[in-house]
Amino acid sequence: MKFLCLHGYGTNNKVFEMQTAALRYELGTHHTFEFVEGTVPAPMDPGTYSPQLSTHEASPTTQTPFPSTPDFEAHPFLTTPPPPTPTAFNNNLHLITTNSSSELQSLFSPSEQAFSYFDTFSTQSCQTALQNLTTYIQVEGPFDAILAFSAGATLAATYLAQSPNHPFKCAIFLSGVSPIDPIVLKTGVFRSLDPETDGEMIVIPTAHVYGKRDTKFPGSSAILEKLCVGEKKAVLVHEGGHPIPGSASELSGMVRVARRAIHWGDLKAR
């Protein structure tokens, strides 16, 4: 399968390649992975790296910058923004800037650039990111699957929820942050999708990996899981927090649920 890979908030393609190296290695070289980098500058997130995951040479990868647009340039990430209108989405997504760990920052030079796909205070920037993602998929595809982490999973899941005719066979969400309502977004309001009221919005096979002790986005990954169709999802809830897990047993579990989603996706395509 050809995977479209979306990194987390405040990281970049290089980081996400390192975070997923062992997983991609175990999935095998018959898969390819295209990493698409955000273009909205963001502070480097210090707490999303598990060093055990960088020990293998993984499947072939391609790195591509996310399409830059005038709208993105007009909405750079605000490090000292005015108080936003309170919404569940804003409140959750901005928790990422409060993490005090220095694991990730210690691995890179002070000049290392980090990005987001959209300005999390701007609904217009989020709409633009969705349109840019749609265009990228149309121009650079076809893609078979999505591999996304944290806020990258927010963008991916929001796209899947709004695009019933998308080309993807399956998706793998790592510590996924719940998606937003793409219809309400067009009115200038952030609203997180809710499985209680919105039901199962994502109908392709999915794999979900998230931690019991995720204090950065507590409960958000479980919401994303419930928004995905029940009989076609594989779930690993590990003992850790928001970072992608790195122990041998956790890696084995990640590979198992990922392979299950890929298998279901292959069956769906036949």
Say which range, 96-110, 113-127, 143-157, 161-175, has the weakest mean pLDDT: 96-110
Q: Which of 45, 58, 47 is nearest to 17 (CA)?
A: 58
| pLDDT at residue 70, as a whole number | 29
Q: What is the CATH number of the domain that holds 91?
A: 3.40.50.1820
Residue 101 has pLDDT above 80, yes or no: no
Take residue 156 and report the two structure tokens written for it. 């991916």
Confidence tier at 86 by pLDDT (50, 70, 90): very low
User: Where in the sequence is the domain holding 184, given as residue range(s)?
Assistant: 2-269
| pLDDT at residue 63, as a whole number | 56
Domains of the chain: total: 1
Kindly state the average pLDDT of the residues 38-42: 93
| pLDDT at residue 194, as a whole number | 96
| pLDDT at residue 64, as a whole number | 58
The pLDDT tens digits for 192-203 are: 999 999 999 999
Model pTM?
0.81
Using alpha carbons only, how large is the chain's radius of gyration in Å? 17
